[in-house]
């Protein structure tokens, strides 16, 4: 990632993935009432995503039967969520997948058409396909550059409260931690080594 891109989306960890994303242009910046309403809704959506991403902590052998039953219930719930997600997708199709780089202060993606620096709009991002609601941020186009497959658009979030930004930072950190863990498992399987506490 170039220095210009890093400045546009913020410093630190990034949420990098192919995600359904949509930009809705606005004639001007948002009103205060719209900001409050949207921030409250985003906090609810982040709460849903947090619950879906939770994983039970390791427990002792005495709790094993309970955890096995909990795992069975969780698998059934995941199946139900998957079916509901498919039903929602039929009636409410998701936006196309975009190569997204998300930070707590902004987002970068590859768009089909060029936007204009200074434009205001709404960015809708579906971080979890199991959650049918998008995170929707008010943003201002900061930079647009030609790129392979379209245009690289950098948008800075506007009117985002500190609490909402903190929730987004946690989601980005969890995503980064999962990617690191997956990379380590792949490296371990390729070399034939086994991590401590991991069985072959």
Of 41, 44, 174, 189, the closest CA to residue 102 belongs to 174
pLDDT of the chain along its 200 residues, tens only? 444 444 456 567 899 999 999 999 999 888 888 988 998 999 888 887 777 666 544 444 555 676 667 666 666 665 555 555 555 555 557 899 999 999 999 999 999 999 999 999 999 999 887 777 899 999 999 999 999 889 999 999 998 888 889 889 988 988 888 888 777 877 777 776 544 555 44
Residue with tokens 């049918």: 132
Of 165, 166, 139, the closest CA to residue 154 belongs to 139
Give residue 200's pLDDT. 45
| Sequence spans of domains, the chain | 3-189
Give residue 179's pLDDT. 81
Give residue 7's pLDDT. 45
Cβ atoms of 115 and 144 closer than 8 Å: yes
Query: DSSP labels for 136-181?
Result: EEEEEEEEEEEETTEEEEEEEE-S--HHHHHHHHHHHHHHHHHHHH
Phi, psi of 70 (to 5 degrees): -65, -40
CB under 8 Å to 55, separation ≥6 — which residues? none
H helix intervals, 22-151? 32-53, 64-91
Give residue 121's pLDDT. 95
Give residue 50's pLDDT. 75
Cβ atoms of 27 and 119 closer than 8 Å: no
Predicted TM-score (pTM) of this structure: 0.70
């Amino acid at each position: 990632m170039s220095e210009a891109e890093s400045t546009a989306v913020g410093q630190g960890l990034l949420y990098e993935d192919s995600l359904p994303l949509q930009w809705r242009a606005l004639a001007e910046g948002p009103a205060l009432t719209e900001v409050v309403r949207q921030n409250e809704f985003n906090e609810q959506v982040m709460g849903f995503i947090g619950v879906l991403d939770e994983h039970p902590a390791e427990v002792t052998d005495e709790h094993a039967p309970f955890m096995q039953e909990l795992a069975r219930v969780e698998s059934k719930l995941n199946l139900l969520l998957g079916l509901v997600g498919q039903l929602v997708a039929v009636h409410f199709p998701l936006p196309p997948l975009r190569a997204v780089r998300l930070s707590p202060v902004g987002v970068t993606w590859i768009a089909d058409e060029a936007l204009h620096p200074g434009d205001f709009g709404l960015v809708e991002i579906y971080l979890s396909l199991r959650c049918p609601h998008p995170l929707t941020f008010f943003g201002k186009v900061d930079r647009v550059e030609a790129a392979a497959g379209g245009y690289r658009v950098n948008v800075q979030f506007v009117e985002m409260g500190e609490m909402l930004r903190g929730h987004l930072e946690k989601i980005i950190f969890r995503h980064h931690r999962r990617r690191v863990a997956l990379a380590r498992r792949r490296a371990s399987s390729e070399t034939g080594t086994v991590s401590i506490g991991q069985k072959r």
